[in-house]
Amino acid sequence: MSSKINSSSLPIPHRLPTNSPSFNTSSNSLRFKHRPHSAPSSSYTSPSKQVALDKVKPSPSIWNVKFETLEGCKLGISRYPDFEYNARGGIGTGIGRKEEEARNDDTMLVSFDVGTLYIPPLTGATTKFLGLPLPPSLKIDIVPEFFQGTISKESGKVDLQFGAKFWFSVGSIYKAPPLMVETTLTSEESTGKLRGGRGERINGEGRCRLVGVALVNPINDILMNSFLGLPTECIAEMNARISIDPST
């Protein structure tokens, strides 16, 4: 049995175009909007501009500060009468700084170089007790540990934190452990439970009187603790001259 399939009778789901599609390239067929090109934003600052910005940053103002101790000073401890102390010849140099942001406030921060700070020792040549010079063999050396604080150029007010070791010795026979003294030498008032005093601000000649009361703690020396009645208070009244000059 044979059969014939007529290809013309089969359904054709679709017909492919026989001609190639044509595109109208006339100016009316496709149009593109022109968007202007904008440079990308960036926070980068060129080196030359960065240098210029650095130049306008505020820099601190700097002064050279000179501190000199004078005659007519007093040192006292516990309830004993004060020592009359001629501290002329003491000297120290430091640096005063004030940030530009605080230019409306004339108070400067001052720091002295304790490596070059010299305060004369208490000896028979510099010190009297009850009107008499100290015995020739007795000596009290003052070794500064720190000296820093604030000074107002306009008002003359002074507040300087001072720390020092006081070394008592009697010739080569006796040398006590150091007494550590820390106080604020101020041109204002300084008071404790036993001692007190008032200073004087810097005048037109640079002179001032600084006062400081401190607590003296016991040391590892029974003789010194008993003799001075440690712990107790001590007081320093120092006449000084302070010179302030712009740094060059």
Q: DSSP per residue over 5-71, as a string?
A: --GGGS--S----SSPP----STTT---------PPP-----HHHHHHHHHTS---EEEEEEEEE-S
- Of 64, 182, 63, 169, residue with least CA distance to 121: 169
Q: Please, are residues 221 and 177 in contact by the beta-carbon 8 Å criterion?
A: yes
Q: What is the DSSP letter of 102?
A: G
Question: What is the mean predicted confidence (pLDDT) over 204-208?
Answer: 96
Question: What is the mean predicted confidence (pLDDT) over 224-231?
Answer: 95
> Please, which residues bridge with residue 65 across strands?
94, 244
Q: Which of 59-63, 72-76, 225-229 has the lowest mean pLDDT?
A: 59-63
Look at residue 99 in the predicted model and tell me its pLDDT: 60
Question: What is the mean predicted confidence (pLDDT) over 204-215?
Answer: 97
Convert the pLDDT of each residue in 77-97 to its tens digit.
Answer: 999 999 999 999 999 999 999
Tell me the HSE value of 112 on the side-chain side, using a 13 A CA sphere.
Answer: 28
C-alpha–C-alpha distance, residues 146 and 152, integer Å: 20
Q: Is the pLDDT of residue 130 over 50?
A: yes
Look at residue 106 in the predicted model and tell me its pLDDT: 81
Average pLDDT, the chain: 83
Convert the pLDDT of each residue in 137-151 to its tens digit.
Answer: 999 999 999 999 999
Look at residue 188 in the predicted model and tell me its pLDDT: 98
Question: What is the mean predicted confidence (pLDDT) over 197-208?
Answer: 97
pTM greater than the 0.85 cutoff: no
Look at residue 77 in the predicted model and tell me its pLDDT: 95
Q: Please, are residues 184 and 159 in contact by the beta-carbon 8 Å criterion?
A: yes
Question: What is the mean predicted confidence (pLDDT) over 90-110?
Answer: 81
C-alpha–C-alpha distance, residues 210 and 206, integer Å: 13
